[in-house]
């Protein structure tokens, strides 16, 4: 929205002229909020009305340029704003009333904070005179959100409102992006004041995000790169947020350095690029984790060395030197001590390095990585349907990993995928190879179940030209499935793929590995997801065999208006391999066996099964043993552990 168009809108809707000059108009606080949203380029607001925010909702009727999306829960509004922001890089906006409306935003705000997503949340508050009196629906939302916002405001005067709104958007989108909350009491929304949108440069004490690196830091980094023989780049979310994707590829190509990706770093470079190794970390590629542990130089770009990518910090890449580039100075030396820490804009810093970095062939290093990769390929369970299958694949069963790989094939890798959290999220990261930035949207830091569906709605509404798939588990989907109504009401063409295994799958996997298969509170009784979709008028189909996937995906893609839903009924006890146990060394992974290892294990189990069971006085008499239906499926779980 240009300033000229916004001014035209103000004149048409609010003809009350003030004494502050030709451009000044008299507006209510609620109207000032709407005017500021237009000046900041906002076109969609996600929210849910209530008493303390009603003046602003009433003002929205005068601003048709602001399309409001009525969610079915305020958490959905914050996730939709987040999905909108991640898909476009623009600031997403969520709105809610005071008290429970504001607190329902909290999970979405924390999700955005952990993943550096720029959103602005606007909440109503009880009138200023009632603050602190425990009035109806009063909650100190600025106090609650202080640790999970980049900044927040309680606006107690209408005169502060224009500058606060402008600052909120500036803070949300600059430096390391993040959420900002603006809490506006009801009386401030009703008050009137002269309004002229501020145009002076924003100057905030103590807030000046750096741009370029110091010359000595660049020189020190270049020296480490020149002296290394086994370097590796660790590319995080910051690459795409900074728009530094081209510079990343140029640096890797010029210096011949392989690239490992964090979960949120997927899309920083095409995963088909010859220098891209794939994802690192707890469920990353074994070859990637081995390369990190054996490297003599880590070049960390826009990532934060969180526990899911480092494993045991005491043994993490201990023979390597380390360079860390990030826009946020608090991340340098926070988790991992580095040799060169550079605070600055990634694009600018990479351009400084590119000017002077030297090409250094690393054939021996790439040969070693190729050996690790060949071993990983032997263990691969997802293969073309016509190819010989890994013996661990259970006959007649559909695997979640197969669903994701086939979805990648049948969408030609061109979709924006938005995931929930759990096993399906990790299979997406392993089997859907992303070519471009902002094409994987997922909750990485907070791990928010329920994120997938609402975030996919927000992403699709921000990028209506793009194909968007919500890939969700049956557990997380049920946390926010009420937003199906929002997708129907707004006719959002988002394709929903439920990976339905009847378990809280990732929790069950941990119970299998570390809690002796005590599946406490992880089996789930689910609704019929197809009938649920039909109740909303959503086209739907159920898939139980791999041969049905292509037809189902193509039918879903053929629907161009409104949502679609596919219920993929998959193997219940499938496992995400490899896995680094919590606290273990990064290269100490639980891995799927090779076909030869699997056959050897199967023969060993068969021999053990034929051995006569020793009889002891303590043995349970046959007549008192539990029935087959009561007996836990330990044998099946054991086979799953070493196979699927």
Catalytically annotated residues: 74, 136-137, 186, 506
In the chain, the N- to C-terminal Cα span, in Å, equals 52
Place of tokens 């050897």: 600
Show Cβ contacts of residue 387 under 8 Å, excluding neighbours closer than 6 positions: none
Q: CB count, 10 Å around CB of 287?
A: 23
Place of tokens 């770009």: 301
Residue 23 DSSP one-character state: T
Strands 321-326 and 297-301, how do they pair?
A: parallel
Whole-angstrom distance, CA of residue 400 vs CA of residue 366: 31
Whether residue 433 contacts residue 408, with contact meaning beta carbons closer than 8 Å, is answered with yes
Determine the distance from the C-alpha atom of residue 385 to the mean position of all C-alpha atoms in its chain, rounded to a whole number.
Answer: 30
Q: How many helices (H) and strands (E) does the chain have?
A: 26, 20
Q: CB count, 10 Å around CB of 151?
A: 18
Exposure on the CB side of residue 358, measured as CA atoms within 13 A: 13
Three-state DSSP at 609 gives: helix
Residue 175 DSSP one-character state: S
Show Cβ contacts of residue 349 under 8 Å, excluding neighbours closer than 6 positions: 212, 213, 218, 325, 342
Show Cβ contacts of residue 81 under 8 Å, excluding neighbours closer than 6 positions: 46, 92, 93, 94, 108, 112, 119, 120, 121, 458
- Tokens matching residue 526: 């689910």
Strands 468-473 and 25-28, how do they pair?
A: unpaired
Going by C-alpha positions, the residue among 595, 581, 505 that lies closest to residue 283 is: 581
Instruction: Give the residues across from 576 on adjacent strands.
Output: none
Show Cβ contacts of residue 12 under 8 Å, excluding neighbours closer than 6 positions: none
Instruction: Give the residues across from 153 on adjacent strands.
Output: 182
Residue 339 DSSP one-character state: S
Torsions phi, psi for 448 (to 5 deg): -85, 105
Going by C-alpha positions, the residue among 377, 425, 427, 419 that lies closest to residue 402 is: 427
Whole-angstrom distance, CA of residue 50 vs CA of residue 122: 12
Stated length of the chain: 644
Going by C-alpha positions, the residue among 399, 430, 434 that lies closest to residue 416 is: 434
């Amino acid at each position: 929205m240009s300033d000229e168009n916004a001014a035209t809108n103000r004149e048409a809707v609010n003809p009350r002229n003030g004494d502050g000059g030709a451009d000044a108009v008299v507006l209510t606080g609620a109207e000032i909020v709407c005017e500021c949203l237009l000046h900041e380029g906002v076109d969609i607001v996600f929210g849910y009305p209530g008493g303390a925010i009603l003046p602003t909702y009433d003002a929205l009727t005068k601003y048709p340029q602001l399309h409001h999306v009525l969610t079915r829960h305020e958490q959905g509004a914050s996730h939709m704003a987040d999905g909108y922001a991640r898909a476009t890089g623009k600031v997403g906006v969520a709105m809610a009333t005071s008290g429970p409306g504001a607190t329902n935003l909290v999970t979405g705000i924390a999700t955005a904070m952990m993943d550096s997503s720029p959103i602005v949340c606007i909440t109503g508050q009880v009138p200023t005179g009632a603050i602190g009196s425990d009035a109806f629906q009063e909650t100190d939302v600025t106090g609650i959100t202080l640790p999970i916002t980049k900044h927040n405001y309680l606006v107690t005067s209408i005169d502060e409102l224009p500058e606060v709104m402008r600052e909120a958007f500036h803070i949300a989108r600059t430096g390391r992006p993040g959420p900002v909350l603006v809490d506006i009491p009801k009386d401030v929304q009703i008050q009137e004041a002269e309004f002229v949108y501020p145009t002076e440069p924003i100057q905030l004490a103590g807030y000046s995000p750096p741009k370029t690196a110091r010359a000595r830091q660049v020189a020190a980094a270049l020296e480490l790169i020149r002296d290394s023989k086994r370097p590796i780049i660790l590319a995080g979310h910051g690459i795409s947020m900074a728009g530094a994707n081209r510079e990343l590829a140029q640096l890797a190509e010029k210096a011949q350095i392989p690239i490992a990706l964090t979960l949120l770093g997927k899309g920083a470079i095409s995963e088909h690029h010859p220098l891209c190794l794939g994802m690192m970390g707890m469920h990353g590629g074994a070859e990637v984790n081995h390369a990190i542990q054996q490297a003599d130089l880590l070049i960390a770009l826009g990532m934060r060395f969180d526990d899911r990518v480092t494993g045991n910090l005491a043994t993490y890449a201990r023979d390597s030197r380390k360079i860390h580039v990030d826009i946020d100075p608090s991340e340098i030396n926070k988790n991992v001590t580095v040799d060169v820490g550079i605070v600055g804009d990634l694009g600018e810093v990479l351009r400084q390095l590119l000017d002077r970095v030297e090409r250094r062939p690393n054939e021996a290093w790439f040969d070693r990585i190729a050996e690790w990769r060949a071993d990983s390929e032997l263990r691969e369970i997802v293969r073309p349907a016509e190819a010989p299958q890994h013996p661990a694949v259970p006959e007649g069963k559909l695997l979640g990993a197969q669903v994701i790989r086939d979805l990648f094939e049948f969408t030609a890798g061109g979709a924006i995928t938005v995931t929930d959290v759990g096993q399906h999220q990790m299979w997406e990261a392993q089997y859907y190879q992303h070519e471009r930035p902002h094409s994987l949207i997922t909750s990485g830091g907070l791990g928010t179940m329920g994120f997938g569906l609402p975030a996919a709605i927000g992403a699709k509404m921000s990028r209506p030209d793009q194909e968007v798939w919500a890939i969700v588990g049956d557990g997380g989907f049920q946390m926010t499935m009420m937003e199906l109504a929002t997708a129907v009401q707004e006719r959002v063409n988002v394709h929903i793929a439920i990976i339905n295994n009847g378990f809280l799958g990732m929790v069950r996997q941990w119970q299998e590995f570390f809690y002796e298969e005590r599946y406490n509170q992880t089996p789930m009784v689910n609704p019929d997801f197809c009938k649920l979709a039909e109740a909303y008028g959503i086209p739907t189909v159920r898939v139980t065999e791999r041969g049905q996937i292509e037809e189902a995906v193509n039918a879903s893609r053929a629907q161009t208006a409104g949502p679609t839903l596919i219920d993929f009924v998959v193997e219940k006890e499938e496992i995400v391999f490899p896995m680094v146990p919590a606290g273990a060394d990064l290269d100490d992974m639980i891995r799927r066996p090779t076909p030869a290892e699997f056959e050897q294990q199967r023969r060993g189990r068969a021999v053990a099964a034929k051995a006569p069971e020793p009889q002891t006085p303590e043995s349970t008499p046959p007549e008192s043993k539990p029935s087959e239906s009561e007996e836990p499926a330990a044998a099946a779980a054991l086979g799953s552990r070493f196979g699927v």
